[in-house]
Amino acid sequence: MKKNFTTSVNRIISVILCLSITLLTTGCWDSKEIDTISIVTGIGIDTSQNPDEINLTAQIGKTQPSGGALQQDSAGGDNDSFLVMEATSKGILSAFESMNTKNSRTPFLQHNQVIIFGKEQAEKGVQSYIDVFLRYYQMRMEVWFLVADSKAKDILTVKTQPEKNSAISLSEILRDETNISESLRINLKDFVSRLIEPTSSAIAPIVSVQKGIDTTFLAVDGMAIFKKDKMVGQLTSKQIDGYIWTMGRIKEIPLEISLDPGYGNMQAFNIKCSMKPIIQKDGVISVSLQIRGQMVLDEIKGFDSMNLNEIVPLLQRAANEKVHQDIMNCLSEAQRLNSDIFGFGTAFHRNYPKEWKSLKNKWDQLFPKLKINTDIKLEIINPGKIGASLNMEDKK
């Protein structure tokens, strides 16, 4: 009896060991071998000579085999970290299928970093080509969404430093931008969310190729403004500051102040922004913005024969006025283009659901005349590590 029991236990253990070995040595059923795929790191969409088609550019990162050398390809040199493939078609996926005829590897899109529309295509409209990025199972909603100042192809073919792969370099630049404010985070999900809001207008960062003395680099400088799905204009860097202050969610933001007596550079932090839509009894609508924050003084220049007790109030007043002016300049441009990039209409809808029923259909007439009232108070709480500068008079 004892012998039979021992034999049964041994058989069970043997079966468990066999199953364990089988499971450990079996690969994933849906895995793809690295040498059978082309890992797409960037996708660019430009206009084509045929108005019904687009030129698609795919930046493909080169894999590194166990030997350590980058894979070679006819489209790039041995030392290139990426290669570029192009195709012309009516749709995004059909363009990738066309690429398959020129490449033995299957495009793999789950590691894509950026979607870039060329300026001309953005002005024609983007909605027709966004569907695939939402529908196809390999696409990710978290991918960055941008507009090129010229052609998207130019962005994806340039070699940058220190990241040679321009798509990865762009991803890092955009991630750094969000250290200023979360309102600068424009991925596919954010862009589409704005598109489907009935009264809001979407925005997207504008990227360009810049040439230095010995290097080429990418710069995100400006913001494309859309009306429905078409690009209708853009914000300058200063106007973007106004957008940031209006939208809030600011972590830290620099402020440069130039006055006749001197110059100051400050870092604003601990910022609280609140936006309140208002409908008065007579039906007049407006938006109230309240901004509170603190600043540290990082650099001053000039202010000869002045002390800190005189300089700090000057810089505080100038900083508050600059923020107000930046907000007004941004609002003026958005109203000129009749594009509610701030989501004011959505705020009225949320706070006044009954009244919004009569405002919604007139929003295109109401937004260009909408008044914004600002209440801004930024205070310098830290003058830095030293008191007086070398050229200041120590007044007592």
In a domain, 101, yes or no: yes
Residue 201 lies inside a defined structural domain of this protein: yes
- Token look-up 């960062």 returns 205
The predicted-structure confidence for 200-217, as pLDDT tens digits, reads as follows 999 999 999 988 777 888
Range 77-105 average pLDDT: 82
Element (H, E) at 120: helix 119-124
Torsion region of 263: left, alpha or beta (phi above 0 gives left; psi -120 to 50 gives alpha): beta
pTM, two decimals, is: 0.84
Contacts of 220 (CB under 8 A, 6+ apart): 146, 170, 173, 174, 177, 205, 206, 207
* Domain region containing 305: 237-396
For the domain that residue 255 is a member of, what is the CATH number? 3.30.300.210
Task: Show which of 235, 251, 274 is a domain's final residue.
Answer: 235
27-43 pLDDT, tens digit each: 444 445 666 788 899 99
Per-residue model confidence as pLDDT tens digits over 307-329: 888 899 999 999 999 999 999 99
* Domain count of the fold of the chain: 2
Q: Nearest CA to 295 among 384, 386, 389, 382?
A: 382
Same domain, 131 and 219: yes
pLDDT at 96 over 80: yes
Mean pLDDT of 54-76: 64
Residue 2 within any structural domain of the chain? no
> Does residue 289 fall inside a structural domain?
yes
Give 11's pLDDT tier (boundaries 50, 70, 90). Answer: low
Question: Same domain, yes or no, for 54 and 75?
Answer: yes
- pLDDT tens column, 211-265: 877 788 899 989 999 999 999 999 998 899 999 999 998 999 999 999 999 999 9
What is d(CA 156, CA 43) in angstroms, rounded to the nearest whole number?
8
**Does residue 37 sit in the same domain as residue 177?**
yes
pLDDT band with cut points at 50, 70 and 90 for residue 269: very high
Question: Residue 165 domain-assigned?
Answer: yes
Mean pLDDT of the chain: 86
Neighbours of 255 (CB within 10 A): 21
Q: Select the more confidently predicted residue: 391 or 210.
A: 210
Asked which of 235, 265, 288 is the last residue of a domain, the reply is: 235
What does the angle CA 75 – CA 89 – CA 81 come to, to the nearest 5 degrees?
Answer: 25
The Cα 186–Cα 247 span in angstroms is 13
Do both 118 and 256 map to the same domain?
no
